[in-house]
C-alpha cells in the first residue's frame, strides 16, 4: 500500500489551504490547465494498469499456452502500451510546465508587491525592521509561501486516479482489496507522528534563514568598521553561530525525514507483497485470473503516487504558512504616507514654514522616544538657513521631516503654504531634495549616480557638477562621466563622494535643498563656494531655498539665519553674529566645533608632511 500524506494540524491545514486558494484565484486559467494535464496523467496511469492486464491475459498467456502468436496481436499490444505512455508523458510535461509557471508567477507577483510596500511605508516603519529581515521577507518567505504550488496540480488531478484505482481493485477482488487496505492504519499512524515531529522543526528552520540573512547583511554593511577595528574573527564567530543554528535545524529536519521516509516508502511495498501472496492463493483457487492479478498488483503500486503527491503538498504547508504570515505582516503594515491633491509646481525657490512640530521614534515594542518638541522656524524663498546643534539634538530627524520621509506626530511642515501631507503624490519629491549625512553611491558610472536613470542631458549634468564643485575631478577621471566609481564609490575620496551626492540632488533643480551635514568631508573653501552657488540662479534654472545642517563657523556665517536647536527644542534663532553675542550655549558650541576642526586639520597636515 502507498504511504499516506503527512498529517497537518487542522488550523495549519486550514491556513495552508487559504494560502493556496489565493494562488488559485490569482491564476485560475494556468491552474486549470495544470490540473487537466495532471488528470490526463492520472487517467493514463490507471489505463496503463488495465492495458497491462489485458495484454497479459489476451496476448502473453495465449502465446505461452499455444507456443505462438500473431504479428497483429503483438503490434496491437505494442501500440496500446506506446499510446498510453505517450499520453502519460504529455500529461507529465503539461502538469510540470503549468505548475511551474503558476509558482514562479506568484513568486514574482508577491516579490513586486512586497517591494512596492517597502517603498510606500514611511521611514519610521523601516527604522523598526532590520534590513536583513526585509530581504528575507521578499526572498525566502515569498518562495516558501508558494512552495506547495509545484505538487498541488498533481495532488488535485490524481484524486481521480486514487478513486478509480481503489474502485477498480474492489471490483476485481474484494478479498485482495481488504488485505491491501489494511496497510492504511499503519501509514496513518506513522504520518501523525511524522508531521508532529517535522512541522515545528521546519518552522524554526525558516525563521533561522531570516536571522542568518540579517547577520550577513549587517556584516557586509559594516565591512569597513569590522576591518578597521580588527573584529573579523568576532564577526565571523557571530555569523558562524547563526549559520550553525540553521545547519542544526536543517539537519534536524533531514533526520526526521531520513527516519520516516524509508518507513513510508517500505509500507507500500509490503502491501504489494501481501496482495501478491493473497492474490496467488486466490489465483490457485480460480477466484481470479492472471490478468486481473497483474492489474490489481500494478494498481496497488500506483496508489503510492497520488497519496505521496498529497503528502508533498501537506509537507510544505507548515513552511508555507510561516512564510505567508511573514509576507502578510509586511503587506498589511500600516503607516503609509497619505497624499492630497495640491500640486507644488511653483517657480523659483520654495517657501518653508515649520510650525510646532513634534516627533517621536517607536521601537519594535511600541515604546516612543520623543526627539523633537514644538520646533518652529521659517525659511523665506531663496534664503539659506543653518540648523546648528549638538549631536543627538534632532537635526537629522528634522531634515527627514522637511522632505517628508516621515510625518510629524504633531504640527505641520508647509511648502509654499501647503501642508506637505496635503500635497499630491510625488510633489514633495519634485520640489525638495535631501543630501543626507551618509553618502551612498551605486556601483555605476558617474553619470548613472548623478541621474539615477533619469533622462537628463549631459550638459545639465555638467552644470550640476560645476555647482557641486565636482566638475574638475570628474573631468580628470579616465572615462569622465562614464567612469565607474565602484561599490559605494570605493574609488573616490569622501569629499568627492559628497560632491557627487550633492550634484545628484541639484541636477533635479529642487526648489528646496536640504543638506544634512552633507559637506563635512569637503574643504572649507570648496564648501563656501558650493553654498554661495546655491544662492543664485543655476545656468537657466531657478535657485533654491537652502536648509543646511552645519557645524563649521565659515559655513554657518554664509547663512541668512541660524536656528539653534538642543534636546529637540529651538533655543534661539537669528543671524549668526547676533547668536554669538546673546547665546552662551551657541557660542560655546560653535567655538568647540571650530577648535575640533582646527585640531583635525592640524593632524591631517602632520600626516601629509610625514
CATH of the domain at 255: 1.20.1560.10
pLDDT above 70 coverage of the chain, percent: 81
Are 102 and 72 within one domain?
A: yes
Contact 330, 380 (CB under 8 A): no
- Distance (Å, whole) CA 485 – CA 412: 39
Euclidean distance between CA atoms 114 and 120, whole angstroms: 10
Q: Which three cell numbers stand for residue 377?
A: 522656524
Do 327 and 357 sit in the same domain of this protein?
Answer: no
What's the CA gap between 102 and 123, in Å, rounded? Answer: 34
* 361 & 300 share domain: no
Supply 597's cell numbers: 576642526
The helix (run of H) or strand (run of E) holding residue 370 is: strand 368-379
Q: Within a domain: residue 338? A: no
What is the per-residue pLDDT for 42?
76
Say if residue 294 is in the same domain as residue 368.
no
Question: Is 80 exceeded by the pLDDT of residue 61?
Answer: no
Distances (CA, A) of 443 to 407, 468, 474, 488, 489: 31, 20, 16, 6, 7
Q: What is the pLDDT of residue 399?
A: 86
**What is the spatial distance between Cα 396 and Cα 437, in angstroms, rounded to a whole number?**
8
Q: Where in 500-591 does DSSP place strands (E)?
A: 512-516, 545-549, 561-566, 569-574
pLDDT at 340 over 70: yes
Which carries the bigger pLDDT value, residue 104 or residue 181?
A: 104
Q: How far is CA 329 from CA 112, 129, 149, 322, 338, in A?
A: 15, 11, 21, 11, 20
Q: Is residue 337 part of a domain?
A: no
Q: Are residues 38 and 309 in contact, defined by beta-carbon separation less than 8 angstroms?
A: no
Mark whether 245 and 128 lie in a shared domain: yes
Q: Which residue has the higher pLDDT, 610 or 210?
A: 210
Give yes or no for residue 371 having a pLDDT over 80.
yes
Whether 507 has a pLDDT exceeding 50, the answer reads yes
Domain final residue, candidates 279, 299, 331: 331
Shared domain for 145 and 221, answered yes or no, is: yes
Question: Does a structural domain hold residue 345?
Answer: no
Are residue 359 and residue 311 in the same domain, yes or no?
no
Residues 221 and 362 in one domain: no
Let me know: does 6 contact 315? Beta carbons within 8 Å.
Answer: yes
Q: In what order do the strands lie in the sheet with 352-362?
A: 368-379, 352-362, 410-415, 418-419
283, 302, 331: which is the final residue of a domain? 331
Number of separate domains in the chain: 2
Same-domain check for residues 281 and 377: no
- Write the pLDDT tens digit of every residue in 175-203: 777 776 776 677 667 766 776 777 678 76
201 DSSP 8-state letter: H
User: Minimal CA–CA distance to 50: which of 384, 333, 295, 362?
Assistant: 295
pLDDT at res. 307: 61
Backbone angles phi, psi at 355, to 5 degrees: -120, 110
The answer to the question of residue 245 being in a domain is yes
Pair (287, 357) in one structural domain: no
Q: Which residue has the higher pLDDT, 247 or 181?
A: 247
Query: Which residues fall within 8 angstroms of residue 364, CB to CB, at 6 or more apart?
Result: 128, 129
- End-to-end C-alpha distance for the chain, whole angstroms: 84
pLDDT tens readout for residues 80-102 = 888 888 888 888 888 889 888 99
Mean pLDDT, residues 581-607 taken together: 68
In a domain, 179, yes or no: yes
Written in H, E and C, the secondary structure of 391-432 is CCCCHHHHHHHHCCCCCCCEEEEEECCEEHHHECCCHHHHHE
Residue 575 maps to a domain:
yes
Residue 515 domain-assigned (yes or no): yes
Residues 186 and 53 in one domain: yes
Task: Read off the CATH number of the domain in which 476 is found.
Answer: 3.40.50.300
Q: What is the mean pLDDT of the chain?
A: 77
Q: Can you tell me the mean pLDDT for 110-119?
A: 88
- Which DSSP category does 345 fall into? -
User: What are the pLDDT digits (tens) for 489-499?
Assistant: 778 887 788 88
| Residue 511 structural domain | 352-609
Residue 170 included in any domain: yes
Q: What are phi and psi of 571, to 5 degrees?
A: -90, -25
Do residues 326 and 363 both lie within one domain?
no
Amino acid at each position: 500500500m502507498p504511504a499516506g500524506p503527512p498529517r497537518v494540524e487542522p488550523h495549519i491545514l486550514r491556513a495552508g489551504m487559504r494560502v493556496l486558494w489565493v494562488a488559485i484565484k490569482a491564476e485560475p486559467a494556468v491552474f486549470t490547465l495544470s490540473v487537466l494535464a495532471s488528470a490526463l496523467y492520472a487517467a493514463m496511469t490507471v489505463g496503463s494498469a488495465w492495458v497491462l492486464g489485458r495484454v497479459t491475459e489476451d496476448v502473453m498467456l495465449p502465446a505461452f499456452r499455444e507456443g505462438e502468436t500473431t504479428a497483429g496481436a503483438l503490434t496491437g499490444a505494442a501500440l496500446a502500451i506506446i499510446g498510453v505512455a505517450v499520453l502519460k508523458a504529455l500529461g507529465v510535461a503539461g502538469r510540470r510546465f503549468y505548475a511551474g509557471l503558476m509558482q514562479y508567477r506568484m513568486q514574482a507577483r508577491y516579490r513586486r508587491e512586497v517591494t512596492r510596500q517597502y517603498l510606500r511605508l514611511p521611514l519610521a516603519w523601516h527604522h523598526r525592521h532590520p534590513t536583513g529581515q526585509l530581504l528575507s521577507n521578499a526572498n525566502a518567505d515569498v518562495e516558501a509561501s508558494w512552495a506547495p504550488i509545484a505538487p498541488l496540480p498533481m495532488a488535485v488531478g490524481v484524486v481521480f486516479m486514487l478513486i478509480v484505482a481503489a474502485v477498480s481493485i474492489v471490483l476485481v477482488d474484494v478479498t485482495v482489496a481488504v488485505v491491501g487496505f489494511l496497510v492504511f492504519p499503519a501509514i496513518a499512524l506513522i504520518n501523525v507522528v511524522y508531521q508532529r515531529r517535522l512541522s515545528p522543526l521546519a518552522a524554526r528552520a525558516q525563521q533561522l534563514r531570516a536571522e542568518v540573512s540579517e547577520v550577513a547583511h549587517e556584516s557586509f554593511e559594516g565591512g569597513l568598521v569590522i576591518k578597521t577595528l580588527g573584529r573579523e574573527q568576532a564577526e565571523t564567530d557571530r555569523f558562524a553561530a547563526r549559520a550553525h543554528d540553521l545547519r542544526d535545524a536543517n539537519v534536524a529536519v533531514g533526520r526526521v525525514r531520513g527516519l520516516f521516509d524509508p518507513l513510508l516508502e517500505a509500507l507500500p511495498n509490503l502491501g504489494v507483497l501481501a496482495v501478491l501472496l493473497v492474490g496467488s492463493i486466490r489465483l490457485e483457487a480460480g477466484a481470479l485470473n492472471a490478468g486481473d492479478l497483474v492489474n490489481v498488483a500494478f494498481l496497488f503500486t500506483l496508489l503510492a503516487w497520488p497519496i505521496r503527491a498529497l503528502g508533498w503538498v501537506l509537507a510544505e504547508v507548515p513552511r508555507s504558512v510561516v512564510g505567508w504570515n511573514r509576507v502578510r505582516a509586511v503587506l498589511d503594515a500600516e503607516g503609509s504616507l497619505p497624499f492630497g491633491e495640491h500640486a507644488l509646481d511653483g517657480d523659483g525657490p520654495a517657501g518653508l514654514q515649520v510650525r510646532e512640530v513634534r516627533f517621536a521614534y517607536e521601537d519594535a515594542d511600541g515604546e516612543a522616544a520623543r526627539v523633537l518638541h514644538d520646533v518652529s522656524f521659517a525659511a523665506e524663498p531663496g534664503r539659506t538657513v543653518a540648523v546648528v546643534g549638538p549631536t543627538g539634538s534632532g537635526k537629522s530627524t528634522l531634515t527627514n521631516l522637511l522632505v517628508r520621509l516621515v510625518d510629524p506626530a504633531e504640527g505641520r511642515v508647509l511648502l509654499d503654504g501647503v501642508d506637505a501631507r496635503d500635497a499630491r503624490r510625488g510633489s514633495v519629491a519634485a520640489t525638495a531634495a535631501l543630501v543626507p549625512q551618509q553618502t551612498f553611491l551605486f556601483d555605476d558610472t558617474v553619470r548613472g549616480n548623478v541621474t539615477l536613470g533619469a533622462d537628463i542631458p549631459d550638459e545639465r549634468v555638467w552644470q550640476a557638477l560645476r555647482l557641486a564643485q565636482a566638475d574638475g575631478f570628474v573631468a580628470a577621471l579616465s572615462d569622465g562621466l562614464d567612469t565607474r566609481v565602484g561599490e559605494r564609490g570605493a574609488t573616490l575620496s569622501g569629499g568627492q563622494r559628497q560632491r557627487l551626492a550633492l550634484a545628484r540632488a541639484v541636477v533635479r533643480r529642487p526648489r528646496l535643498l536640504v543638506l544634512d551635514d552633507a559637506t563635512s568631508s569637503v574643504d572649507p573653501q570648496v564648501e563656501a563656494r558650493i553654498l554661495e552657488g546655491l544662492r543664485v540662479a543655476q545656468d537657466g534654472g531657478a535657485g533654491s531655498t537652502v536648509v543646511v545642517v552645519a557645524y563649521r563657523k565659515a559655513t554657518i556665517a554664509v547663512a541668512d539665519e541660524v536656528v539653534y536647536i538642543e534636546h529637540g527644542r529651538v533655543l534661539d534663532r537669528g543671524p549668526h553674529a547676533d547668536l554669538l553675542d546673546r547665546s552662551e550655549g551657541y557660542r560655546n558650541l560653535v567655538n568647540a566645533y571650530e577648535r575640533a576642526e582646527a585640531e583635525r586639520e592640524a593632524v591631517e597636515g602632520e600626516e601629509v608632511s610625514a
